[in-house]
């Protein structure tokens, strides 16, 4: 007990995050083995992991660095395609674990490179202008991937921006990326276990980054750029660092996502997907990593649970989204809520609980 008390609050907080993921994993495994979990839920496990990684990594840009990005799906697609192409060519011939790990790493590296390419010029923009540039970047990537043809034969890679016949493949050749149709017939590799491991790695890296010296520098840029600059913090370096890490985790999530299905097309990675992830981040609380995890899980499962509503499904989803935003963010509602909570909390135990919570939240 004492050992726990002596931990730093941030460490304690982080442990709760890991614990939450592990408990979720174990509960799911038990349910699966007991045959209780239905197909629908089982099918959603890997996408949930993907969106959790995406939300946590976007939260690094939006919440910790304080820059709005609307192009997260772009980085995801770079990772997805590079990882999937590798997996199609050679990954599937290796042992699954090695091949899959390499694919994830390749996806992460490529997305990171793109993060740097985009980040270096655009991070001097601010606010809504940065947002529109990231949106533009996402659209450009999608547009290019929609028009790209990649083939592979004994002579190596072939690229074309025209059509399949322009690839000029020999007999042994096979088309890997077929324009807008993308990749088809891919062996699936993602599992819930792999997804959970990726979530834990993401949390480990990002949570440690936040509590590190670099993380404090990044947050100081968010809180007051000029003051941060005045204290000698290298703005560009830390901004870029956050941006690249965020992008490369998005890329890894992309690989996890891609290898969960037997096809992959660029159309998926449009601005709607970026927005979806942003919704997770904002609803979970900007800068609140645990909120991102919970929001991504709940909001991903929500539309699937609403399937019973048939035609009204997306309508209800939209209404719930608006209602949750107002409930969570409206100053009046928040005031009303804290009033309400403090009324309840006059009875002793609740008050103590809330006080503890407040303290941990403030840190």
Partner 1 sequence: MEFLSYLINGISLGSVYAIIALGYTMVYGIAKMLNFAHGDVIMVGSYLVFIGINQMGIPPLVAIIISMVACTLLGIIIERFAYKPLRGASSLAVLITAIGVSYLLQNLALLFWGSDPKSFTSVVTIPPLKLANGQLVISGETIVTIVTSTVIMIGLMLFVNRTKVGNAMLAVSEDKGAAQLMGINVNYTIALTFAIGSALAAVAGVLLCSAYPTLQPTTGAMPGIKAFTAAVFGGIGSIPGAMLGGVLLGIIEILSKAYISTQLADAIVFAVLIVVLLVRPTGLLGKKINEKV
Partner 2 sequence: MKKALSMVLAAAMAFGCVACGSTGNSKESTANSNTIKIGSIGPLTGGAAIYGNAVKNGAQLAVDEINAKGGLQFSLRVEDDENDVEKSINAYNSLKDWGMQVLLGTVTTQPCLAVAPETAQDNIFLLTPSASAPEIVAEDNAFQVCFTDPNLGTAAAEYIADHNLATKIAIIYDSSEAYSSGVHDNFKQAAAEKGLEVLADEAFTSDNKTDFSVQVQKAKNSGAELVFLPIYYNEANLIIQEMNKQGYDAAIFGCDGLDGLLTIKGADTSLFEDVMLLTPFAADSSDELTQNFVAKYKETYGDTPNQFAADAYDGVYAIWTACEQAGVTADMDASDVCDKLKEAMTQITLNGLTGEGMKWEASGEVNKTPKAVKIVNGAYVSME
Asked if 337 is part of the footprint of partner 2 (rule: CB under 8 A), the reply reads yes
Binding partner selected for residue 95 from partner 1, partner 2, none, CB under the kind-specific 5 to 8 Å limit:
none
Span near partner 2 by CB under 8 A; candidates 68-76, 115-123, 235-243, 335-343: 335-343
List the structure tokens of 280: 């997770």
Residue with tokens 């609803």: 283
Asked if 220 is part of the footprint of partner 2 (rule: CB under 8 A), the reply reads no
CA distance 164 to 160: 8
Asked if 338 is part of the footprint of partner 2 (rule: CB under 8 A), the reply reads yes
Binding partner selected for residue 284 from partner 2, partner 1, none, CB under the kind-specific 5 to 8 Å limit:
partner 2
Binding partner selected for residue 128 from partner 1, partner 2, none, CB under the kind-specific 5 to 8 Å limit:
partner 1
Nearest to 273 by CA among 257, 294, 286, 285: 257
Which of residues 16, 180, 227, 335 is near partner 2 by CB under 8 A?
Answer: 180
Q: Is 93 helix (H, G, I), strand (E, B) or coil?
A: helix
CA distance 225 to 95: 48
* Interface map 296-315 toward partner 2 (x if CB under 8 A): --x--xx-xxxxxxxxxxx-
Binding partner selected for residue 124 from partner 1, partner 2, none, CB under the kind-specific 5 to 8 Å limit:
partner 1
Shortest Cβ distance from residue 179 to partner 2 (Å)? Answer: 6
Residue with tokens 């979970």: 284
Shortest Cβ distance from residue 318 to partner 1 (Å)? Answer: 4
Asked if 125 is part of the footprint of partner 2 (rule: CB under 8 A), the reply reads no
Distances (CA, A) of 240 to 65, 180, 236, 312: 10, 31, 6, 43
Task: Calculate ∠ Cα 7-9-15, nearest 5°.
Answer: 75
Shortest Cβ distance from residue 4 to partner 2 (Å)? Answer: 20
State which residue, 213 or 307, has the beta carbon closest to partner 2: 307
b/e code 275-304 from CB counts within 10 Å (16+ = b): ebbbbbbbbbbbbebbbbbbbbbebbeeee
Asked if 184 is part of the footprint of partner 2 (rule: CB under 8 A), the reply reads yes
Which of residues 154, 165, 332, 347 is near partner 2 by CB under 8 A?
Answer: 165
Q: Are 276 and 269 in contact (CB under 8 A)?
A: no
Binding partner selected for residue 30 from partner 1, partner 2, none, CB under the kind-specific 5 to 8 Å limit:
none
Half-sphere exposure of 220 (CA within 13 A, CB side): 19
Q: Would you give the DSSP letter of residue 42? A: H
CA distance 361 to 13: 9
Q: Under the rule (CB under 8 A), what is the footprint of partner 2?
A: 38-40, 42-44, 47, 139, 143, 146-147, 163-165, 179-181, 184-185, 257, 261-265, 267-268, 270, 283-285, 288, 290-291, 294-295, 298, 301-302, 304-314, 316, 320, 323-324, 327-328, 334, 337-338, 341, 354, 357-358, 361
């Amino acid at each position: 007990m004492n050992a726990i008390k002596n931990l730093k609050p941030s460490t304690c907080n982080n442990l709760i995050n890991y614990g939450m993921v592990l408990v979720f994993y174990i509960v799911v495994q038990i349910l699966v083995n007991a045959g209780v979990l239905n197909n629908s839920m089982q099918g959603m496990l890997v996408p949930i992991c993907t969106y959790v990684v995406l939300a946590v990594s976007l939260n690094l840009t939006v919440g910790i660095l304080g820059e709005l990005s609307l192009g997260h799906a772009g980085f995801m697609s770079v990772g997805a395609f590079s990882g999937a192409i590798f997996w199609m060519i050679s990954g599937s011939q290796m042992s699954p674990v090695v091949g899959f790990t390499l694919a994830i790493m390749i996806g992460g590296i490529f997305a990171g490179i793109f993060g740097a390419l985009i980040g270096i010029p655009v991070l001097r923009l601010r606010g809504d202008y940065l947002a529109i540039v990231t949106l533009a970047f996402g659209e450009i990537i999608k547009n290019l991937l929609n028009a790209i043809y990649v083939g592979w034969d004994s002579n190596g890679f072939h690229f074309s921006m025209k059509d399949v016949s322009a690839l000029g493949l020999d007999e042994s050749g096979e088309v890997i990326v077929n324009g807008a149709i993308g990749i088809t017939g891919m062996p699936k590799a993602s599992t819930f276990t792999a997804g959970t491991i990726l979530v834990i790695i993401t949390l480990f890296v990002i949570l440690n980054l936040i509590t590190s010296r670099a993380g404090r520098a990044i947050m100081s840029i968010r809180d007051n750029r000029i003051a941060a600059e005045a204290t000698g913090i290298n703005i560009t370096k830390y901004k870029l660092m956050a941006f690249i890490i965020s992008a490369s985790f998005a890329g890894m999530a992309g690989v996890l996502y891609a290898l969960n299905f037997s096809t992959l097309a660029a159309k998926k990675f449009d601005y709607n997907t970026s927005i979806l992830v942003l919704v997770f981040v904002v609803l979970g609380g900007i800068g609140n990593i645990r909120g991102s995890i919970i929001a991504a899980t709940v909001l991903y499962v929500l539309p699937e649970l609403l399937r019973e509503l048939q035609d009204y499904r997306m309508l209800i989803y939209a209404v719930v989204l608006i209602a949750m935003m107002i409930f969570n963010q409206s100053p009046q509602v928040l005031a009303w809520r804290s009033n309400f909570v403090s009324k309840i909390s006059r009875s002793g135990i609740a008050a103590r609980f809330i006080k503890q919570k407040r303290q941990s939240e403030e840190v």
